[in-house]
Structure 1
C-alpha cells in the first residue's frame, strides 16, 4: 500500500475514534450540542480520508507524487483545525469562529488538490528511446 494511503487510513482511524468518543460523550451526558462537530469529524475525518486512501491505493502512480503528500498534509490539518474550532464554537465559545472558517478553507483547499489529482493524467515513465542508427 502506498505511504499516502496508509497515512490517510491512520489519520482516518484517529478521527473515527475521537468522533465515536464525542458521540458517546453526548449520549452519556444527554447533551447533544456538538453534533455538528461529531458529524464533520466522522464524515470528513474518517469517511473522506478513507476514500482518499483507497483512491491512492488504486492509483499508485498518483500516490507516488509529492502532490499526494501535500494533499494529505493540507486536508488533514484543515479537518483537525476546523473540527476543533467547531467543537468549541458549538460549546458556546464564539471566539473560535475564525478557527472554523480558516480550517474550512484549508480543508476545501485539500479537496481542490484531490480534484486536480483525480482529473490530471497520471504520469508514467517515458519509454526508452531507441538510439539513432549511425
Structure 2
C-alpha cells in the first residue's frame, strides 16, 4: 500500500502544529498582524492536506502513479510556501511569494480535482480473479 496518504497527513499535522504555535504566540503577544498566516497555515496546510490524504486513503487507486506524487509535491510545497509568502506580504509589503505559491496551490487543487473526476468517470476495474471466472 502506498505511503502517500501518510505523507499528506504528516505534512498536514506539521502545519497544524505550526499554526497552533503561531496562534498561541499571537495571543500571548496580543499582536494579531499575522492572523492571515495563521489562517492559511491551518486551512491550506492542515485542513486541505489532511482531507487530500484521507481521500487517498479511502480511494487507494488515487495514491498510485507519478501524477499522485506530483500532486503531493505541488500541494505540500505550496501549502508550506503560501503562509511564508503571506508573512512577507503582511510584514514587508512583498506579496510575490504569496502570489506564486497561491497559483501553485491552485495547480495542486486542479490536479486533485482532475484525478477525482477521472476516478469518477473511469470504468470500474474488477479484480483479475473475477475476470478469469467469466
Question: 1:87 corresponds to which residue?
Answer: 87
User: Which residue of the partner structure matches residue 42 of structure 2?
Assistant: 42
Residue 33 of structure 1 aligns to a residue whose secondary structure is coil
8 Å CA contact 1:2–1:56 kept in 2: the answer is no
**Native 8 Å contact 2:37 2:83 kept in 1:** yes
Unaligned runs of 5+ in 1: none
CA contact (8 A) 2:8 2:52 kept: yes
Q: Is the 8 A contact 2:89 2:96 kept in 1?
A: no
Is contact 1:8–1:50 with CA below 8 Å preserved after alignment? yes
Counterpart check, 1:21 vs 2:21: yes
Determine the structure 2 residue equivalent to 1:105. Answer: 103
CA deviation after TM superposition for structure 1 residue 2, in Å: 3.0
Match of 1:66 in 2: 66
Corresponding residue for residue 116 of structure 2: 118
Q: How many residues align?
A: 128
Which ranges of structure 2 fall in alignment gaps of 5 or more residues?
Answer: none
Are positions 1:7 and 2:7 aligned together? yes
More helix by share: 2
How far residue 112 of structure 1 moved from its aligned partner, in angstroms, is: 0.2
Q: RMSD across aligned C-alpha pairs, in angstroms?
A: 2.0
Aligned residue for 1:57?
Answer: 57
Cα distance in 2 for residues equivalent to 1:103 and 1:125: 39
